[in-house]
Amino acid sequence: MKLVEGGRLRDSVLDLLALNVRHAEDFRADLLAQMGAAAMGCQRLADLLTCYGMDTVLGALDAILDSAERMMRSEIASWPEGAYEGESLLDD
């Protein structure tokens, strides 16, 4: 079942999805915000590719990921030896 077809939101599918969640209005707002953010991200990525080209953009992404990994490994290496655990919570 496609939520978007031919670039248009299918309201009937959105209505069906909203029927199956506790907070339908929050669900709708969150989903539409996520879709808007994804569309903006696609456009911005397309703009970067047009401006700088695929090789440069991929090189920059690799550099960002490599830098993030180095920084995280450096941070973790500075911790005292031991066992660590974490917890993460999600909205209901």
Domain boundaries, the chain: 4-77
14-28 pLDDT, tens per residue? 999 999 899 999 999
62-78 pLDDT, tens per residue? 999 999 999 999 999 99
20-50 pLDDT, tens per residue? 899 999 999 999 999 999 999 999 999 999 9
DSSP E strands, 1-92: 4-5, 8-9
pTM: 0.69
CB 30 within 8 A of CB 14: no
Give the pLDDT of residue 91.
76
CB 40 within 8 A of CB 47: no
Residue 12: partners with Cβ closer than 8 Å, 6 or more residues away: none
Burial class (CB in 10 A: 0-12, 13-18, 19+), 29: exposed
